[in-house]
Structure 1
């Protein structure tokens, strides 16, 4: 079978084949995700923030959207307050210039940020992670190498972190499921810490000392005996000394030193002992002088 001129048609000219859909440029898509805000689709502006799912945002755009109370897109529906985002501290790339923003091929353009530990560019070709506890950004390869020697400590700022604080930036579908689980873990941990703080405050309020009151003497056996302090011990010793002095003044032997004391009225003294003094009844009406010159009978 031929046509005019003796040409033979090919199969693709006779059979209509279903056209394949246009494939996305993976490199362009990757670069767009790492250089543009997920919320506004514009270039990232510092300060840069991330959500719990690892997507990148311009912090200013998130604040404006929350203040205007506009509905979030489906990709950022979980961002409901500033607690749901974390500001990042990426390391600038010294090789990045203004020409890299507009000119040059994707393979030759430099990324604006790098890993401070091993120097990999944060362009999407290598997996990067960020710590929710401190906001430091580094490559996943560097974190795995350092984690064996320094566990649960940020290699850049030395801040402690836990497993749920490691967020993969712009991860795949499997990473998104893992980031959702970690986000729920952080939310539960935050709620438990709030409950612990409230309980600690209540305990502090109950433990506050009351105003000092004067001690009241109690004869009940169920009264609680407090441990004496240094000041109370000194007061007790002084009180014992005062009581001892009072008891000493009441001693019967010291009563004899008083002016109103009389031997004749002393019930403990014998009659012979009493006869030695002029107060005795036998010495009252005598005419001779006393043997002691205490009561002479001369004019």
Structure 2
């Protein structure tokens, strides 16, 4: 039956108290963040990308998600803020020379360091295993430790040499407070981008509207546009005094005669060779004998 062999029960066996809160293993939590994709929960492999909140993903998993968002996948709440490939950045990581792969200790006769990371900081040499803060630059995607950026202060990337600002530095796998700040910055950036797009669209509409409404000036037979005649009008009116009404009537009659269209054949200053180039010349007209029933009646066929 039990308890008949002189066993003495303890208090916690008889009295039921509140259950202890289960604590998450720190090593397992760090491995889940720094060694596995936040979307597919698979091991990280190149190419590795990140979002504006500093989470790590496999690039192929993100592309599959963007191509088919309706498919059922676990952890989709981690990528709701990713709308397209513009919201992710491919990381330029530095390999750890001491990393031997996942199956480096198959025999079990060596000490296996669970905190050994695949990548390191190219400046200080710290391993990217979760113990140290790491950041990436939004301009070029290079990854450095926070200690390297603080000790070697510069406005040029240590690895590729591209310039950057303090606003371009984003923490990878930061705390909850840091993630909330990154969300606020992301919202501000997207709001500014929307305002810029709306301003550009309005400016394009205002530029296209007057160009569509403005008609082209008519051209007469001689090839001179009406804008030239308008210029002659303004010059003639400015040259004469405004006080005399007779002179104004004379200028009106002269401009009216200038604007009337004249036939090229009636221009005496033009030569016969020049007049013969046009279809209104007498040589271009055909007689009844030259015409036929099956030829189109145009002056270009003889």
* TMscore range, shorter length: 0.5 to 0.7
From 91, 97, 102, the equivalent of 2:100 is: 97
Q: Partner of 1:131 in structure 2?
A: 137
Of the two, which has the highest radius of gyration?
Answer: 1
Q: Partner of 1:120 in structure 2?
A: 126
Are the counterparts in 2 of residues 100 and 110 from structure 1 also a CA contact under 8 Å?
Answer: no
Q: Partner of 1:79 in structure 2?
A: 82
SS in 1 for 2:234: coil
1:65 to 2:65 alignment: yes
- Return 5+ residue gaps in structure 1 as ranges: 207-212, 224-299
Length, aligned pairs only: 216
TM-score in terms of structure 1 length: 0.60
Q: CA deviation at 1:48?
A: 0.3
Are the counterparts in 1 of residues 90 and 141 from structure 2 also a CA contact under 8 Å?
Answer: yes
Distance in 2 separating the partners of 1:112 and 1:58: 15
Relative to structure 1, the CA distance from residue 201 to residue 133 in structure 2 (aligned partners, 3 Å threshold; closer, same or farther) is farther
Relative to structure 1, the CA distance from residue 100 to residue 184 in structure 2 (aligned partners, 3 Å threshold; closer, same or farther) is farther
Q: Partner of 1:181 in structure 2?
A: 184
SS in 2 for 1:18: coil
1:146 to 2:152 alignment: yes
From 228, 234, 251, the equivalent of 1:220 is: 234
Q: Partner of 1:31 in structure 2?
A: 31
Q: CA deviation at 1:100?
A: 5.9
Are the counterparts in 1 of residues 35 and 44 from structure 2 also a CA contact under 8 Å?
Answer: yes
Distance in 2 separating the partners of 1:25 and 1:101: 23
Q: Partner of 1:209 in structure 2?
A: none
Distance in 1 separating the partners of 2:206 and 2:165: 28
* 1:1-299 map, 5 Å: 10-70=10-70, 73-99=76-102, 107-147=113-153, 150-151=154-155, 153-191=156-194, 216=228, 218=232, 220=234
Distance in 2 separating the partners of 1:14 and 1:132: 59
Q: CA deviation at 1:202?
A: 9.2
Q: What is the alpha-carbon root mean square deviation over aligned residues?
A: 3.8
Relative to structure 1, the CA distance from residue 201 to residue 16 in structure 2 (aligned partners, 3 Å threshold; closer, same or farther) is closer
SS in 2 for 1:32: helix
Q: Partner of 2:272 in structure 1?
A: none
- Listed one character per residue, the Cα deviations across residues 208-250 of structure 1 (whole Å, up to 9, x for unaligned) are xxxxx99956473699xxxxxxxxxxxxxxxxxxxxxxxxxxx
Q: Partner of 2:270 in structure 1?
A: none
Distance in 1 separating the partners of 2:112 and 2:188: 38
Distance in 2 separating the partners of 1:101 and 1:61: 26
Relative to structure 1, the CA distance from residue 10 to residue 176 in structure 2 (aligned partners, 3 Å threshold; closer, same or farther) is same
Q: CA deviation at 1:79?
A: 0.8
Relative to structure 1, the CA distance from residue 105 to residue 22 in structure 2 (aligned partners, 3 Å threshold; closer, same or farther) is farther
Q: CA deviation at 1:200?
A: 9.2
